[in-house]
């Protein structure tokens, strides 16, 4: 998931804290500039990064 700009201060110095926030459709980020957590709607992602998506990519390559 790409980092988002902080909605409070506009800084780009943000990092992903948790892939899943208070709801499955939200991710939690942390702003290093103003030291605030914030949630971002996970919209239009192709796949959640991780082992499972890697297996899917391998399976697709083997089918070709």
Render pLDDT for 3-62 as a digit per residue (tens, 0 to 9). Answer: 789 999 999 999 999 999 888 899 999 999 999 999 999 876 555 555 455 666 677 777
Position of tokens 């990092």? Answer: 15
pTM over 0.85: no
Task: Please say whether the beta carbons of 8 and 36 come within 8 A.
Answer: yes
pLDDT, residue 51, reads 46
More reliable by pLDDT, 2 or 21: 21
Would you list the domain boundaries of the chain? 14-63
Q: Give the Cα separation of 4 and 47 in Å (integer).
A: 18
């Amino acid at each position: 998931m790409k980092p988002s700009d902080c909605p409070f201060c506009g800084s780009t110095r943000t990092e992903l804290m948790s892939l899943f926030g208070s709801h499955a459709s939200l991710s939690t980020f942390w702003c290093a500039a103003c030291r605030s957590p914030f949630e971002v709607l996970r919209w239009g992602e192709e796949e959640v990064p991780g082992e499972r998506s890697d297996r899917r990519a391998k399976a697709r390559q083997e089918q070709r």
